Chain A
Amino acid sequence: MSDMQQAATSFWNDTGKTGLTSWIFSTDHKRIGLLYFYTTIGFFLVGVVLGLLLRIELMAPGRTIMGPQTYNALFTVHGVVMIFLFIIPGIPGAFGNMVMPIQIGARDVSFPRLNLLSWWLYIIGAVIILTSLFSGGGAPDTGWTFYVPFSSRTGTNVSLAVFGVFIVGFSSILTGVNFVTTIHRLRAEGMTWFRLPLFTWSLYATAWVQILATPILAITLVLVMAERVLGTGLFDPTRGGDPVMYQHLFWIYSHPAVYIMILPAMGIVSDIIPVFSRKPIFGYKMIAFSSLAIAAAGSLVWGHHMFTSGMSDTAVVVFSFLTFIVAIPSAIKVFNWISTLYKGSISLEAPMLFALSFILLFSIGGLSGLILGAAATDVHVHDTHFVVGHFHYVMFGGTGFAIFAAMHYWLPKFYGRRYREKPAIIAWGLMFTGFNVLYFTMQVLGMRGMPRRYYDYLPEFGPLNLVATVGSWILAAGLILMLVNLFRGLFWGEPFVGNPWGGATLEWSVATPPPTENFEGEPVATHGPYDFSGVKK
């Protein structure tokens, strides 16, 4: 099939509909996926700019470019935007929507209109959150965790911001419901559970967490609003309330939310590594089950955020123990990825480089997490830059780099054009270097006692903070190069036809870009997702 013919029959134009409304009211999972992609990546860039400003403020002791109130607002908004508007919806909303239905041999998700509603709820929630920054008492300054009693008393616009997060939560629940139903009901003939690609498995595990945990966040945020507006006193000890209970409720959702963020990223890596190693994945079933195990066990460890909150010693011991249990399925994944690489025919193209960096950065993040999960050592580093470094290793080095891997791996499939490899590799090198200079330095700073969420610090922390800020600039330079190269390639680059990566999952068997209904006939799965015999690159 020639390039022109392919373009004429793809989802970009085969319905004959064009213009903005053909996108924002489309029920095609690929279009909704791209809507999610561009909106989440837009918010990611907003978050990056805020993060860079925070680093400039911390470049030298004392006031550099902003005062304490602005700093408090900026780190709050940076957290809210990055977590609720980028990482949580990022992979399921964008790549889950684009890729998962094709991977299981379906024409769309089970509830296409609900899918569109989910994107609209996300946009409405995002607009409300953005409105909260410029209305009422101004941008919230509580940190993304909205801890009481401060969040119930501060004059900033916390009520509107948490209402926005509440709405975004519903978007997440709807995506979860849609994906669970789709994976149960719409698998093609021959697509048994153990022929599902691991990316789909990870989305399935994630969807359950989205369905079961997100309502708790929604209720908790309603309680914060009730506390502020009605003065209910639920979290106020002078009226019989309990501030620690807020932390329980918040983390019952927000720790599983970490797994909503990381599990689909692990799925991406599990799909990319076999393709670029030309080997079936090692331990398929163990990776699939470990996703479910992480989802289940990860929902029971929220108390490790609260070791210094005044929680009972019994709870500290129980939650610390359970935290160590989550390390087991996480390590199973890492060992299986490494075993897949062993004696593979590895090609180091951009998706693979990002996927490999995921393994390293996630491992560093995971192991530093054990220092925080152990109650005794946590007391030493709690609320320091060590924690900030740790979760950026997991969330950015893990999920962020996996999203970059997915962007290089799957977006050419949906655009029919590809990026240039050399600039992509240079960009990866810059980002990998900048990332480690920035966040490893943060971990060292934290170990030395530099607290988080302070706009100023003792002069002895000056040199390392300067190093970290320079790291943030290297990271940003790499990011700009990566995005320019990627989007330039997607719109004007070389054609991407056939199956250049040599993937064996179903999305590589359909036309590039795929037609609206994905498959010409009824697809039949005849082999596993990582059976590369007979796959031509």
Chain B
Amino acid sequence: MDQHQPHIVSYTRLIGIWLALLVLTALTVAITRVELGGYKVVGALAVACAKAGLVIAVFMHMKYEGVLLRWLLFLAFVTLAVFIGFTFFDVLYR
């Protein structure tokens, strides 16, 4: 089966992803300096999602997995997003 094949990712690609993660980290810091009010958190979370996505897709090889596993992971992310999102019914309207 496909997912049992080893996947060797090139150093160039790994370093590229690492640099992208560093840039996104810098972006997280930069967002805190812009006046966005409650939406600051949304921005930070969006960047965090992009970073987690890169790590999971490349470093954790999810990119090479089957459709079922990808959907399962997607379900976990949606759940997390809903949990965090619903707390904003409280935090944004206090």
Contacts and interface: CB of A to CB of B under 8 A. Distances in A.
Say if A and B assemble together: yes
Interface of A: 211-212, 216, 244-245, 248, 252, 299-300, 303, 310-315, 318-319
A303 B89 contact: yes
A344 to B, nearest CB: 38
B90 A300 contact: no
Interface SS, A side: helix
Contact of B82 (A300, A312, A313): A300
27 contacts: A211-B76, A212-B76, A212-B79, A216-B83, A244-B90, A245-B91, A248-B87, A248-B90, A252-B83, A299-B79, A299-B82, A299-B83, A303-B86, A303-B90, A310-B94, A311-B94, A312-B90, A312-B92, A312-B93, A313-B93, A314-B90, A314-B93, A315-B89, A315-B93, A318-B86, A318-B89, A319-B89
Contacts of B94: 310-312
A303 B82 CA distance: 13
Interface string B64-75: 000000000001
Contacts of B93: 312-315
Contacts of A244: 90
A300 B87 CA distance: 10
B31 to A, nearest CB: 18
A80 B90 CA distance: 28
Given A313-B93, A314-B93, A300 B79 contact: no
Interface of B: 75-76, 79, 82-83, 86-87, 89-94
Contacts of B75: 212
Nearest to B90: A315
Contacts of A310: 94
Contacts of A315: 89-90, 93
Given A245-B91, A248-B87, A248-B90, 4 more contacts: A211-B76, A312-B89, A312-B93, A313-B93
Contacts of A300: 82, 86
Nearest 5 A-B pairs (CB), nearest first? A312-B93, A315-B90, A314-B93, A315-B89, A312-B94
A314 B89 contact: yes
A381 B77 CA distance: 36
A295 to B, nearest CB: 11
B35 to A, nearest CB: 18
Contacts of B82: 299-300
Contacts of A212: 75-76, 79
Contacts of B92: 312
Contacts of A245: 87, 91
Nearest to A310: B94
A319 B90 CA distance: 10
A211, A216, A310, A312 interface centre (most CB from chain B within 10 Å): A312
A303, A310, A315, A319 interface centre (most CB from chain B within 10 Å): A315
A59 B2 CA distance: 67
A245 B87 CA distance: 8
Nearest to A322: B86
B4 to A, nearest CB: 15
Nearest to B89: A315
A316 to B, nearest CB: 9
Given A212-B79, A299-B79, A311 B90 contact: yes
A31 to B, nearest CB: 30
A418 B12 CA distance: 68
A410 to B, nearest CB: 30
A493 B36 CA distance: 72
Contacts of B79: 212, 299
A288 B28 CA distance: 44
B76 to A, nearest CB: 6
Nearest to B86: A300
B5 to A, nearest CB: 20
A312 B91 CA distance: 7
